[in-house]
Amino acid sequence: MNLTDPNLLKRHAYIDGNWQRSNSTFPVVNPATNELIADVSDLSEVEAEAAVIAAHIALPNWSAKSASERSKLLNKWFQLMMLHQNDLAILLTSEQGKPLAEAKGEIAYGAGYIEWFAEEAKRVYGDTIPAPSNDKRIVVIKQPVGVVTAITPWNFPNAMIARKAAAALAAGCTFVVRPASQTPLSALAMAELAERAGIPPGVFNVIVGTDAQGIGKVLTQHKLVAKFTFTGSTPVGKKLLAQCAARVKKVSMELGGNAPFIVFDDADIDAAVDGVIASKYRNAGQTCVCTNRIFVQHSVLKTFAFKLAAAVDKLNLGNGLNENVDIGPLINEQAAHDVHSLVTESVQAGATVVLGGTAPVDNFYKPTILSNVTNEMAIAQNEIFGPVSALIGFQTEQEVIELANATEFGLAAYFYSRDIGRVWRVSEALEYGMVGINEGIISNPAAPFGGIKQSGFGREGSKYGLEDYLNIKYLCMGALNN
Ligand code: NAP
């Protein structure tokens, strides 16, 4: 791998400011070529516990720093990430597969949360509340929850960590993360830069290892852990939530989605096509806020499908490290196989292939469009997690709102309309945590990212993002008239 700064390729866990090795290792491979990138130390629950203890020991000094001191260190970390944006992007594309331009975008996006929370650290305000009697005063202060642990997925190996760690550290918490075993290198590079930024030992720890369950038990159940935060699938999230119940941990969950994308007959069709390209085909369709079901009003369905096919046909599939590639490989062969199964099952159930639909080659899946899909088909009720558009026709606004909400998920939704009345009605009726209106890219550090229903709870980014890492303490001062 050709890095300007080869020291950013780390192979061992980062615990208490030390690079911790293990005799056993696991391979990290490039999904575009299946070539080995690095053998990484395979650590266990023993080292996970050591990381939690290190975070516990580091907590008093870190939380005692002034907001301004923590802010300066976070800002330095942000600057180093942006300084090394190219190398971090090469590492990210190599282990995850997304095109290099998207990987650079993810580094800037992730770093943006660190910059944002470096500022928010200074705005942890409390309250004074009028008391029910004159001899009392009610004061509310906010304090860091304590040691925070996290488990993150492979689809955004940098940003899913940055979103959590930035808020936790800004609030005065210390942090232990276990990244997905397919993509540990981006997390370890973040640790290297945290160290260079001067973030003290024990404040930011990365435990790497293939024993997801064993390490996960420590991170969800250890008595020194105050809060657990997870990004990943809903089934795994439910298991981890149950584990957290044993010690009543504070929890936040960023889980799966099934985003509807609605195109009304009054929409700007070209803008809607651009919106689908951005929200469906980014990261080869492997994002939690990916458009999953595209509802198009019957009168514009033909035009929309034609224009979408023309745009999708131009997307280049290939190794994300090469130039002019729009769509990289899926994360592994199983993922490509699963996407193709959903497509063939839909066709057997009556869907029509407009574009693509061919069997995967290695981990690559050709961008695909299906029409005549129904909301009951498996492809409309499961996260596709691949570059496949599923078009569903509809007649009325009321009908499409019911269809859009007929899912257990509630993360992101999108719709295109130029009717101001409809914009308000539909925005309020959609049962989702986030709604893009004439917009396919909705996530940024200033906005509260998160879902409802089985897409989870808690928010990342914005002023609300800090709240998940703070305890509210109420002080009641009495006998003031004596
Ligand atoms: P996943 O299978 O749930 O895995 C997520 C993480 O959990 C990985 O680090 C995984 O480790 C770990 N894990 C799996 N089983 C575990 C267990 N029993 N105990 C402890 N840890 C366990 O999800 P994924 O396939 O990596 O990611 C895709 C999912 O994440 C999609 O559903 C997507 O929608 C969701 N997602 C949600 C958001 C959001 O903000 N709402 C953002 C991004 C992704 P290994 O990889 O080592 O198995």
Q: Does the CB atom of residue 154 touch ligand 1 within 6 A?
A: yes
pLDDT of residue 1: 83
Taking the centre of ligand 1 as the mean of its atom positions, its distance from the CA of residue 470, in whole angstroms, is 25
Domain 259-444 matching CATH 1.10.760.10: the answer reads no
Q: Does the CB atom of residue 199 touch ligand 1 within 6 A?
A: no
Q: Does the CB atom of residue 285 touch ligand 1 within 6 A?
A: no
| Residue 151 contacts residue 177 (beta carbons within 8 Å) | yes
Name the residue with the closest Cα to ligand 1, atom 22.
212
Q: Does the CB atom of residue 292 touch ligand 1 within 6 A?
A: no
pLDDT of residue 361: 97
pLDDT of residue 76: 98
Name the residue with the closest Cα to ligand 1, atom 40.
254
CATH 3.40.605.10 positions along the chain are: 6-255+455-474
Q: Does the CB atom of residue 192 touch ligand 1 within 6 A?
A: no
pLDDT tens per residue across span 446-463: 999 999 999 999 999 999
| Residue 425 contacts residue 129 (beta carbons within 8 Å) | no
Which atom, in ligand 1's list, is nearest to the CA of 213? 19
CATH 3.40.309.10 positions along the chain are: 259-444
Q: Does the CB atom of residue 212 touch ligand 1 within 6 A?
A: yes
pLDDT of residue 37: 97
> What mean pLDDT, rounded, does the chain reach?
98
Q: Does the CB atom of residue 283 touch ligand 1 within 6 A?
A: no
Taking the centre of ligand 1 as the mean of its atom positions, its distance from the CA of residue 232, in whole angstroms, is 3
Which atom, in ligand 1's list, is nearest to the CA of 179? 9
Taking the centre of ligand 1 as the mean of its atom positions, its distance from the CA of residue 233, in whole angstroms, is 5
Taking the centre of ligand 1 as the mean of its atom positions, its distance from the CA of residue 82, in whole angstroms, is 26
Q: In CATH, what number does 6-255+455-474 get?
A: 3.40.605.10
Q: Does the CB atom of residue 153 touch ligand 1 within 6 A?
A: yes
Q: Does the CB atom of residue 231 touch ligand 1 within 6 A?
A: yes
Cα separation, 196 vs 190, whole angstroms? 10
Q: Does the CB atom of residue 286 touch ligand 1 within 6 A?
A: no
pLDDT tens per residue across span 351-362: 999 999 999 999
Name the residue with the closest Cα to ligand 1, atom 31.
233
| Residue 169 contacts residue 250 (beta carbons within 8 Å) | no
pLDDT of residue 78: 98
Q: Catalytic residues, which ones?
A: 254, 288
Q: Which of 152, 155, 244 to mutate to test the pocket of ligand 1 (most atoms within 8 A of CB)?
A: 155
Q: Does the CB atom of residue 182 touch ligand 1 within 6 A?
A: yes
Taking the centre of ligand 1 as the mean of its atom positions, its distance from the CA of residue 357, in whole angstroms, is 26
Taking the centre of ligand 1 as the mean of its atom positions, its distance from the CA of residue 23, in whole angstroms, is 26
- Spans in the chain with pLDDT lower than 50: none
Q: Which amino acid is at 270?
A: D
Taking the centre of ligand 1 as the mean of its atom positions, its distance from the CA of residue 219, in whole angstroms, is 14
Q: Which of 44, 109, 151 to mutate to test the pocket of ligand 1 (most atoms within 8 A of CB)?
A: 151
pLDDT tens per residue across span 186-218: 999 999 999 999 999 999 999 999 999 999 999
Q: Does the CB atom of residue 23 touch ligand 1 within 6 A?
A: no
Taking the centre of ligand 1 as the mean of its atom positions, its distance from the CA of residue 180, in whole angstroms, is 7
pLDDT tens per residue across span 30-50: 999 999 999 999 999 999 999
Q: Which of 26, 154, 339 to mutate to test the pocket of ligand 1 (most atoms within 8 A of CB)?
A: 154
Q: Does the CB atom of residue 181 touch ligand 1 within 6 A?
A: yes
pLDDT tens per residue across span 101-149: 999 999 999 999 999 999 999 999 999 999 999 999 999 999 999 999 9
Q: Is the pTM of this model over 0.95?
A: yes
Which atom, in ligand 1's list, is nearest to the CA of 385? 31
What does the H/E/C string look like for the chain?
CCCCCHHHCCCCEEECCEEECCCCEEEEECCCCCCEEEEEECCCHHHHHHHHHHHHHHHHHHHHCCHHHHHHHHHHHHHHHHHCHHHHHHHHHHHHCCCHHHHHHHHHHHHHHHHHHHHHHHHCCCEEECCCCCCCEEEEEEEECCEEEEECCCCCCCHHHHHHHHHHHHHCCEEEEECCCCCCHHHHHHHHHHHHHCCCCCCEEECCCCCHHHHHHHHHHCCCEEEEEEECCHHHHHHHHHHHHCCCCEEEEECCCCEEEEECCCCCHHHHHHHHHHHHHHHHHCCCCCEEEEEEEHHHHHHHHHHHHHHHHCCCECCCCCCCCCECCCCCHHHHHHHHHHHHHHHHCCCEEEECCCCCECCECCCEEEECCCCCCHHHHCCCCCCEEEEEEECCHHHHHHHHHCCCEECEEEEECCCHHHHHHHHHHCCCCEEEECCCCCCCCCCCECCEECCEECCECCHHHHHHHEEEEEEEECCCCC
Taking the centre of ligand 1 as the mean of its atom positions, its distance from the CA of residue 25, in whole angstroms, is 21
